[in-house]
Structure 1
């Protein structure tokens, strides 16, 4: 009879011991840590990419540099400057966006053409425009994030937008010399749909 009473007590003791271990240290006075599940979608329905502050700053730098290139290419197309179109589009391509390089013109970053103008134009004629430009030595490009783990932390769909984007810019560079300007402009506009789709799909937050 005594053994029968002892067995339920032993079982109860074992259950309590396991509960204490699994709860993360209640026995020594610590409060169990409860990790809340992070939302997968933002309030506007986009997928949330959880990145470190370093990763987010890297991507922001890339985006600003990329936007500068897009502005330069828009201006080059407007003035039908085929040489600038080829150079800027190549700089936005898969090789030009690896680390530094691939800017507009001139390593000094003095815009599309050197001149003594007010800098409000990209330099569609000699002497007009001394813009800031991107410059071969200044553009950090849309690289792969070095050792910050972006290839690991970003989903394949993210790169599914980025890879064709850069490949299409290479194609625009290749067609710059002979294609009709309207055709180049159309290819450029179509390619920017990759940017629109990516921003409509993803948003980033700190880990």
Structure 2
């Protein structure tokens, strides 16, 4: 149950995404910087005591058929929003506070949002389709397993956030749109930068 029963979580998250994409699309930096900037805009909407990054959830014991599509033994959503103020999400196997379900999946009961973030400018040759699909699979798996284990609890919203700002290659969203449409519960948020990170003719950065 959320502390704010009338909160427009979807509207607030998409507002943060829109401002982030418009403000930071022309920057050229490591992925961690984009993650920090996105978290900043999420905090501006939800508050610092509700925004966290990369909680670890153990997937090896999951029974969902979607597990076959996800190749990792752990799932770490890039950014999450809690339903209530306060962050309590240690590693699922932390001996000082081990998850009662041994996987950490129950954490999703406390989350209003789980999300993934992909940035075109952080890659040499723009997005790799398999990497994008794997992140969608991660979100879909978490939602499906959660619905099986906790059928009476509301699931978090799930967003696949993709910012197309590669210096030279424009991304075609067609296949990713179809993949997300076939992944129940996963919403694709698209961002396309009009002003992209500049490249000099000799491809050198002079300080």
Report the TM-score range of the alignment, normalised by the length of the smaller protein: under 0.3
Q: TM-score, normalised by structure 2?
A: 0.28
Q: TM-score, normalised by structure 1?
A: 0.28
Determine which structure has the larger strand proportion and give its number.
Answer: 2
